């Protein structure tokens, strides 16, 4: 594993709560943020960063790291970066990209915001929302 590790949604929330400098980065797309909902960490005195992971293209890792840096989060900073996507796949790629750029504390949230598809082809049985963690509709 090239990044700091995987966290359950509950462990990710606890890390965000216990470390004042820890940052939550939602790497899903804008339509997902608008129509599915977003994590809400305002009770922790924080706001997530919304920087989409754009797989494919000429340099998705470089683009992602540059966008995070522009948002004020430099990979060399020694802060915990908690990465969240829909089901925990894109956030692994984002964590690997951050680690390769020098971030030593890039974590993936297992099952993401709404988990993998179940046997009926539906999401929502796992992840941030299913764990009962705070979230809101945009």
Rounded to an integer, what distance in angstroms lies between the CA atom of residue 10 and that of residue 20? 17
Q: Topology of 5-132 in CATH?
A: Oxidized Rhodanese; domain 1 (3.40.250)
In the chain, what are the domain boundaries? Answer: 5-132
Residues 133, 117: contact at Cβ < 8 Å?
A: no
Any idea which of 54-58, 80-84, 93-97 has the lowest mean pLDDT?
54-58
The yes-or-no verdict on residue 24 having pLDDT over 80 is yes
Say if residue 106 is exposed, middle or buried (CB neighbours under 10 Å; 0-12, 13-18, 19+): buried
Confidence of residue 59 (pLDDT cuts 50, 70, 90): confident
Distance between CA atoms of residues 25 and 62, nearest Å: 16
Q: State pTM to two decimals.
A: 0.94
Position 56 confidence tier, pLDDT thresholds 50, 70, 90: confident
Q: What gap in Å lies between CA 136 and CA 34, rounded to an integer?
A: 10
């Amino acid at each position: 594993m090239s990044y700091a590790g995987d966290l359950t949604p509950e462990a990710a929330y606890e890390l965000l709560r216990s470390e004042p400098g820890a940052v939550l980065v939602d790497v899903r797309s804008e339509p997902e943020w608008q129509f599915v909902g977003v994590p809400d960490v305002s009770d922790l005195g924080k706001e997530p960063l919304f920087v989409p992971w754009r797989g494919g293209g000429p340099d998705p890792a470089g683009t992602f790291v540059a966008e995070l840096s522009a948002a004020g989060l430099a990979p060399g900073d020694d802060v915990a970066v908690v990465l969240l996507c829909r089901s925990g796949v894109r956030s692994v790629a984002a964590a690997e990209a951050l680690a390769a750029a020098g971030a030593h504390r890039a974590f993936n949230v297992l099952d993401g915001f709404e988990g993998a598809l179940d046997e009926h082809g539906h999401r929502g049985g796992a992840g941030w929302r299913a764990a009962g963690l705070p979230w809101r509709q945009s």
